[in-house]
Amino acid sequence: MRDDVKKAIADGAKRIVLNLGEVNYIDSGGLGTLVALHTTAHNAGGTIKLANLTKRVGDLMQVTKLLTVFEVHNSEYEALEAFRKAA
């Protein structure tokens, strides 16, 4: 995922939605990857939104305070709509 998102950013993608609906567990390396991707996107003038978090991942994001860093939506559609409304 990291390589794909970094390539998309390098290719000019400014709006990225990561659907984490099938992710049941994220370790510290995964959290670090999310933060690094956020920073890379931000530095390139882009934004990453998260969608469809499982309860376990959502709880982890809350405990680590990453919910204050990422905009989280219940579905990909809602995340895409948030981009559309902001444009």
State pLDDT tens for residues 12-55. 999 999 999 999 999 999 999 999 999 999 999 999 999 999 99
pLDDT of residue 87: 72
For residue 77, give its domain range. Answer: 2-86
> Of 80, 29, 35, 31, whose CA–CA distance to 57 is shortest?
31
Q: What is the pTM of this model?
A: 0.92
pLDDT at 17: 98
Please say if the pLDDT value at position 86 is more than 90: no
Counting the structural domains of the chain, the total is 1
Residue 82's pLDDT is 96
- Buried b vs exposed e over 18-53: b needs ≥16 C-beta within 10 Å? bebeebeebeeebeebbeebbebbeeeebbbbbbbb
The pLDDT, as a whole number, for residue 58 is 95
Output the domain CATH number for residue 49: 3.30.750.24
Q: How far apart are CA 19 and CA 75, in angstroms?
A: 8
